[in-house]
Structure 1
Amino acid sequence: TNTDTDTYVTFEMGDNDSAVSTLPGYEYDSAVTSVSPCEYTDINNFGRMFLPPFYAIIFNISLLGNGLVLFIMYKFESLNTVTNIFLLNLVASNLIFTSSLPFQAVYHHSEWIFGLVACKLVNSIYFLGFYSSVFFLTLMTFDRYLAVVHVVFATKQRRSCYALVLAAVVWMVSVLATLESFFGHVVLEDPVLKRICEDNSNPEHKIMGTYSQFVLFFIFPLVVILYCYIRIGLRVISSRMKGKHRTVKLIFVIVVLFFLCWSPYNVILLMMEQVTDPCDSSLNYSKYVTHNIAHLYFCINPVFYTFLGRKFQNHVRRLLVKEVPCLKTHLTTSGTSRSFS
């Protein structure tokens, strides 16, 4: 999928079938070797005004929110527990993703000014953050399933080395999945947009196409997560395991938030694969809007740590009391714990 230029339509021109340009709102007619304007060029103009401040807001809030989570974990928590290792990696995935947004903000405001290497790296970082977030959400859910449903097995097998190995596997698979984006993105000269950073690989040769991405990073995680939470819910209800409720609820909300943010975009991508007209303004506009709504996940995600994590709330209160002693009479705190939930 094209992450940087949602409404740009790539076309090819010339006898040698070499890609030479990508114009906003134009489609290529090979019979007359000319271009005709599509009806959604106003989307691009709107994006130039809307996206830079939108990306800036997401970047700053995500940096502050996820950075606070990391600081609290480092300050008050044991980082070698299974839950905290997975949570630490999930927050790192969010930060990796948001680190690409300042470059995209500048890009949408004018043109790509950062060169070929940065073009490849920024898009690879985007996908690395996305892929690893999906994997870690699925992994955290499966780990909760083991801890609640298969208690005896989890007690014997859930060690920090187990979490570290799985986290390393997730990062390795995610990096391998981003290589296609790294090698496919190039910087092109455009008569209207000047320099653009575009995926120039042949769609027929792409492994991580729309369908494979839809199955691996949407359908598969959804099936695993639904199964795990159905089993967790039944076990918690039948055994009245009150101590597990808060941790399960926290991870459940994080997962639901992710799919609420990313489901519309994936559905639109799947619909666009069935449409032959690249200038379908309704679908292109829907893709444009849902793609940027999906970015909100990385901004809102840390907020739910604050509102649903009792121990996180307690750590924040302890930090405030330590830095601002006059708040001690207004805030109550309790002892530390080993599980960040």
Structure 2
Amino acid sequence: MSDNDEFLYFLKLFNETDDTTDLNYVVSKTVQLCTKTNVNQFGARVIPVFYYINFLLSYLGNGLVLFIIYKYEKLNTVTNIFLLNLVLSNILFASSLPFWATYHLSEWIFGMALCKIVSSAYFIGFYSSILFLTLMTFDRYLAVVHAVTAAKSRKKVYAIIASVTVWCISIVASVKELVLQNVWKSPFNGLMCEESGFAESTMQRWRLVSYYQQFLLFFLLPLFMVMYCYISITIRILSTRMREKCRAIKLIFVIIFTFFACWTPYNIVILLQALQVSSTSGDNDSCSDSESLDYALYVTRNIAYLYCCISPVFYTFVGKKFQRHFKRLMAKKIPCLKGHIGLSSQSTRTTSQRTSPSAYEY
């Protein structure tokens, strides 16, 4: 909409004789309006590309892991059950990305029902993915640090109960999306699928709940658990005579660093947004500060989403067993590699018989 169209629309509203004011949105103070035209244009250009890339990588990576589990593995181990649930949560999350990409390109064209369903699926997949990554880390910690005790408790029932708990927590944390997400028509941006329908004070409280929920429950808690578990695993590995000790420690360092690097910037922006919403100051720089946070959110969120999408591949292929499955698959599809793959697999089997089980021999 051009500046002239915006002015004509303003005159139309100004000359209205009917009082259609919703008292829920009446405030007794000056409200500064931030159009965020530049931010919206940036989002329309950049976000769809990121979302489609994340969507493709997620379906390729998670699809590959799912195929390997189906072809070479059985769902009778705790690790495979957790891995399957992680793959499903990432596929659920990635399935919502094409809808959001289309939304950023134009407007919400999919109706009210899909607005609520896609929003809920988006957050359920996102939250459950984080929790399953944390759960897999904790299970790895039990298997390595408390191997004797864990051998009795790490049964199929334990994995199923833990997985159901994660899904329930994720669904409960996403219920507000099902309630608050609505489709409404903006005079400047067309049909919007956003949180609306309640008084501004109510919406502000729910936004704060979302921000702090994301930062505390789905970042700080998983981060502390991942750090504690992998530090304990490292100490345990250093005290053993495992021949591939250095390789295992390097992998642990890479996992911790990647998790921290991908998730920390996004959650710092989330925390800053929460502090901004909580602030009652109405200075002239609030719009510019808000725009800066929006730009930062676009970039950091997609880094976090990318990790969320490729994490099953990352966590799977640090394990020798899944590496062998992948080599077998490649040898079957590309016959010229068969001799090399067979020699490598035999070598790996011989080595594994001579050494104690690795923390990553899944």
TM-score normalized by structure 1? 0.83
Aligned residue number for residue 84 of structure 1: 80
1:327 and 1:232 map into 2 onto residues whose CA distance is 35
Letter in 1 for 2:297: K
Following superposition of structure 1 onto structure 2, how do residues 132-281 of structure 1 map, counting pairs within 5 Å? 132-200=128-196, 202-205=203-206, 208-241=209-242, 253-254=254-255, 256-275=257-276, 276=279, 277-280=286-289, 281=291
Structure 1 residue 334 and structure 2 residue 348: aligned? no
| Structure 1 or 2: more strand by fraction | 1
Cα offset, 1:100, TM superposition: 0.6
> Identity percentage over the alignment?
51
Question: Which secondary structure does the structure 2 equivalent of 1:328 belong to?
Answer: helix
> Which region of structure 1 is more displaced relative to structure 2, 80-89 or 198-207?
198-207
Which portions of structure 1, spanning 4 or more consecutive aligned residues, are displaced by more than 6 angstroms?
243-249
Cα offset, 1:212, TM superposition: 2.8
Question: Which secondary structure does the structure 1 equivalent of 2:108 belong to?
Answer: coil
1:82 and 1:215 map into 2 onto residues whose CA distance is 27
Per-residue CA deviations over 1:35-56 (Å, capped at 9, x if unaligned) read 7555x52221122122222211
Cα offset, 1:117, TM superposition: 1.0
Instruction: Report how many aligned residue pairs link the two structures.
Output: 318
Aligned residue number for residue 125 of structure 1: 121
Cα offset, 1:245, TM superposition: 8.0
Question: Which secondary structure does the structure 2 equivalent of 1:296 belong to?
Answer: helix
Cα offset, 1:308, TM superposition: 2.6
Question: Which secondary structure does the structure 1 equivalent of 2:341 belong to?
Answer: coil
Cα offset, 1:168, TM superposition: 1.0
Cα offset, 1:298, TM superposition: 3.0
Cα offset, 1:302, TM superposition: 4.4
Aligned-residue Cα RMSD (Å) equals 3.0
Letter in 2 for 1:267: I
2:326 and 2:25 map into 1 onto residues whose CA distance is 56
Cα offset, 1:263, TM superposition: 1.4
* 8 Å CA contact retained: 1:320, 1:327: yes
Cα offset, 1:114, TM superposition: 0.6
* 8 Å CA contact retained: 1:246, 1:308: no
Cα offset, 1:206, TM superposition: 6.3
Aligned residue number for residue 49 of structure 2: 53
Following superposition of structure 1 onto structure 2, how do residues 78-117 of structure 1 map, counting pairs within 5 Å? 78-117=74-113
Change (3 A) 1:243 1:50: same
Question: Which secondary structure does the structure 2 equivalent of 1:273 belong to?
Answer: helix
2:246 and 2:157 map into 1 onto residues whose CA distance is 26
Question: Which secondary structure does the structure 2 equivalent of 1:192 belong to?
Answer: coil
Change (3 A) 1:224 1:207: same
* 8 Å CA contact retained: 1:89, 1:136: yes
| Aligned equivalent of 2:292, options 282, 288, 294 | 282
Letter in 2 for 1:65: G
Question: Which secondary structure does the structure 2 equivalent of 1:209 belong to?
Answer: helix
* 8 Å CA contact retained: 1:120, 1:183: yes
| Structure 1 or 2: more helix by fraction | 2
| Aligned equivalent of 2:311, options 292, 297, 301 | 301
Per-residue CA deviations over 1:136-191 (Å, capped at 9, x if unaligned) read 12211211221112122101111111111111111111111111111110001111
Change (3 A) 1:293 1:122: same
Letter in 2 for 1:77: E
Change (3 A) 1:180 1:249: farther
* 8 Å CA contact retained: 1:55, 1:102: yes
Flag the structure with larger Rg.
2
Change (3 A) 1:150 1:340: closer
> Which region of structure 1 is more displaced relative to structure 2, 292-301 or 304-313?
304-313
Aligned residue number for residue 325 of structure 1: 335
Aligned residue number for residue 16 of structure 1: 23
